[in-house]
Chains A and B, each alone.
Chain A
Amino acid sequence: MTIIAAPGNLKPHLNGLKREDSRKNAYQNGREKHGPRVGVGSRQHSRQEAFEQPPMYVAVMTYVGYGIVTLFGYFRDFLRAVGIEKCNIAQEREEQKDFTPLYQDFENFYTRNLYMRVRDNWNRPICSLPGPVFDLMERVSDDYNWTFRFTGRTIHDVINMGSYNYLGFAENNADFLKTVADRLQQYGAGVCSTRQESGNLKMHEELEELVADFLGVESSMTFGMGFATNSMNIPALVGKGCLILSDELNHTSLILGARLSGATIRVFKHNNMLSLEKMLKEAVSSGQPRTHRPWKKILIMVEGIYSMEGSLVQLPEIVALKKKYKAYLYLDEAHSIGAVGPTGRGVTELFSVNPADVDVMMGTFTKSFGAAGGYIAGKKELVDYLRRHSHSAVYASAMSPAITEQIIRAMKCITGKDSSTEGIRRIRQLAENTRYFRARLKELGFIIYGSDESPVVPLLLYMPGKVVAFAREMLARKIGVVVVGFPATPIAEARARFCVSAAHTRDMLDQVLHHLDEVGDGLCLKFSRRTPPSRPDPSEETDFEPNS
């Protein structure tokens, strides 16, 4: 993503050409006519996602800042090598000084000289439930963040804008958790076996039926860990002689799974349908390199919501492409399941795509369901094959009974099977909170990435000094934010990532926005050069009163 560009206005990241617009309109019209789950206030979703460029001086000063800190990094490394300064980080032993160096690559340099200086903003120890507010342990450092010590005090009631708690299921209400406690009593904490041996509980099958029903597919399978769901199942689905077309900004678990499988991987530009179509055409017409035999399988890997950008996948276009070129689609809905869509069923519902069109639907239970684990869903033959051939099924321990029950109760709550309206209330609260938060942030003048419907809100900070100062200032005001820099993001696009939750009240969001306003002025973070949008039309607001 180029950052050195002419300072321009809003640059909409419209990924189709003009001819795509007609297709977009057709889908939107189609949704009005026959969408079975049209939901509340069927307004047109604006799928225009903005990735605004900052003013030129911001980009230049970001690089200057990194340059100066790098120079000082070299200076400190020199002092350490000469012996004037003690080296606190791992280094080679005396006897191995002539061997191939272990710690000389840029990543180690960066860790030693930049990350270590400011690492008090990450790995902060939490000592309460990660709900909408939480408690942090106060820690200080005497030697510039090489070591920490706890002062013994706790910082209470810090507003939590970092946890993936989209529907607020990270709660410890005794009534809601009664069934979970019962199961823990009944089955104990661990399963002590894999699914294929003696770890297949009846609860697991009940959960899998619930998941399949929730998503509208034939069958599903659950695993104990979300990361392992991707990295251990992709090798079971594709192998050598297959082609994987993966989005530029895919998560590490997808990339790891793709590499482990041994298939050829080609990367297309983020959300760019032209790039994807070009690659598909080329793959279908030229086949495998050198031999030109046709590819055994072509798998397109995309995510529902990309967590660093907050952008949504362009699902209808991808489904059309995959049908035209006869490829398979793997959709990773880690962040979007439960968080988007009128009834929380993810991007397939949001875009009114038939779930049968997506060949492999994957998701995790960590984010919206307040538990841990992942699932893969699709046709019965696919899931039966995975039950026998997946590494996770054969070797990984099965999901713990308490966690399984938590997911079951969360899912029953969302779908309304426990005959209460709590689930649908939370989904609507999340949608409203997201809309409100994003609109207010844009009004305040910050640069926000991503689609208006995604509850993940990245706020761009750019300069390394400001990233650190922002995190510290917000903590001083009792708001916990997650800031991300290189290497999780491109080097010049450091950001703060907010995760809006259904458990946040309007008051909490207002407090956060108020402090953001002050910190934004104090640190000069309001880079946006858009004209602020007019107030939203009152008739478009939902008439559903949120519980405060």
Chain B
Amino acid sequence: MSFKNMREYLAWLYYQYLLITGIYVLEPWEKSIFNSIFFAAIAMVIYTSYVFVPIHVRLALEFFLGIFGGQTESTVALMN
């Protein structure tokens, strides 16, 4: 399948989304309802991950570095 431009490709992707989720059989206003709910859920997931994922990653890194870093220090202290 060759697509003339990006627009056509995106339209085909949207068509696949309609077919796979089964929305294709619904009336247009029902499609809009489902799309808004779905889009809202995705937006919330993105926002939450944007806000919380860096914090969680930083805390996790500190925790694990803290374990190994602390061990090395005390071993060195004992040797001395």
Residues of chain A within 8 A of B21, CB atoms compared: 61, 64-65, 68, 465
The residue of chain A having its C-beta at the shortest distance from the C-beta of B34 within the complex is: A68
Partner of A464, one of B25, B30, B34: B25
What CA separation (Å) do A469 and B20 show in the bound complex? 11
The answer on a CB contact under 8 Å between B24 and A468 is yes
Residues of chain A within 8 A of B25, CB atoms compared: 69, 114, 117-118, 464-465, 468
The answer on a CB contact under 8 Å between A524 and B16 is yes
Q: For the complex, is A463 an interface residue (Cβ under 8 Å from B)? A: yes
Q: Which of B12-69 contact A (CB under 8 A)?
A: 12, 16, 18-27, 30, 34
The residue of chain A having its C-beta at the shortest distance from the C-beta of B22 within the complex is: A65
Q: For the complex, is B76 an interface residue (Cβ under 8 Å from A)? A: no
Known: A69-B25, A72-B30, A469-B24. A523 touches B1 (CB 8 A): no
**Minimum Cβ distance to chain B for residue A116 (Å):** 10
Which residue, of A64, A69, A523, has the highest number of chain B Cβ atoms within 10 A?
Answer: A69
Interface contacts (Cβ under 8 Å), in number, total: 48
What CA separation (Å) do A507 and B32 show in the bound complex? 43
**Minimum Cβ distance to chain A for residue B15 (Å):** 8
The answer on a CB contact under 8 Å between A68 and B19 is no
Main secondary structure of the interface of A (DSSP, over half): helix
Residues of chain A within 8 A of B16, CB atoms compared: 524
What CA separation (Å) do A524 and B16 show in the bound complex? 8
The answer on a CB contact under 8 Å between B27 and A465 is no
Residues of chain A within 8 A of B27, CB atoms compared: 117, 144
Q: Which of A50-68 contact B (CB under 8 A)?
A: 61, 64-66, 68
Partner of A61, one of B1, B12, B20: B20
The residue of chain A having its C-beta at the shortest distance from the C-beta of B12 within the complex is: A522
The answer on a CB contact under 8 Å between B26 and A72 is yes
What CA separation (Å) do A391 and B22 show in the bound complex? 46
Q: For the complex, is A466 an interface residue (Cβ under 8 Å from B)? A: yes
What CA separation (Å) do A548 and B13 show in the bound complex? 40
The answer on a CB contact under 8 Å between B34 and A465 is no
What CA separation (Å) do A522 and B1 show in the bound complex? 7
The answer on a CB contact under 8 Å between A463 and B1 is no
What CA separation (Å) do A539 and B41 show in the bound complex? 60
What CA separation (Å) do A71 and B25 show in the bound complex? 13
Partner of A463, one of B12, B19, B26, B34: B19
What CA separation (Å) do A66 and B26 show in the bound complex? 12
Q: For the complex, is A521 an interface residue (Cβ under 8 Å from B)? A: yes
**Minimum Cβ distance to chain B for residue A60 (Å):** 10
Partner of B20, one of A118, A463, A522: A463
What CA separation (Å) do A114 and B21 show in the bound complex? 14
Residues of chain A within 8 A of B18, CB atoms compared: 465
**Minimum Cβ distance to chain A for residue B10 (Å):** 15
Cβ contacts A57-90/B at 8 Å (1 or 0 each): 0000100111011001000000000000000000
What CA separation (Å) do A89 and B21 show in the bound complex? 26
What CA separation (Å) do A523 and B20 show in the bound complex? 10
The answer on a CB contact under 8 Å between A465 and B1 is no
What CA separation (Å) do A65 and B26 show in the bound complex? 11
The residue of chain B having its C-beta at the shortest distance from the C-beta of A62 within the complex is: B22
What CA separation (Å) do A523 and B24 show in the bound complex? 12
**Minimum Cβ distance to chain A for residue B17 (Å):** 10
**Minimum Cβ distance to chain B for residue A422 (Å):** 43
The answer on a CB contact under 8 Å between B26 and A464 is no
What CA separation (Å) do A191 and B34 show in the bound complex? 59
Cβ contacts A485-506/B at 8 Å (1 or 0 each): 0000000000000000000000
21 example contacts (A-B, Cβ-Cβ < 8 A) are as follows A66-B22, A68-B21, A68-B22, A69-B25, A72-B26, A72-B30, A117-B25, A117-B26, A117-B27, A463-B20, A464-B22, A464-B25, A465-B20, A465-B21, A465-B22, A466-B19, A469-B19, A469-B24, A521-B1, A522-B1, A523-B19
Residues of B within 8 A of A (CB): 1, 12, 16, 18-27, 30, 34
For the complex of A and B, 6 pairs with smallest distance between CB atoms? A65-B22, A465-B24, A465-B19, A465-B22, A117-B25, A69-B22
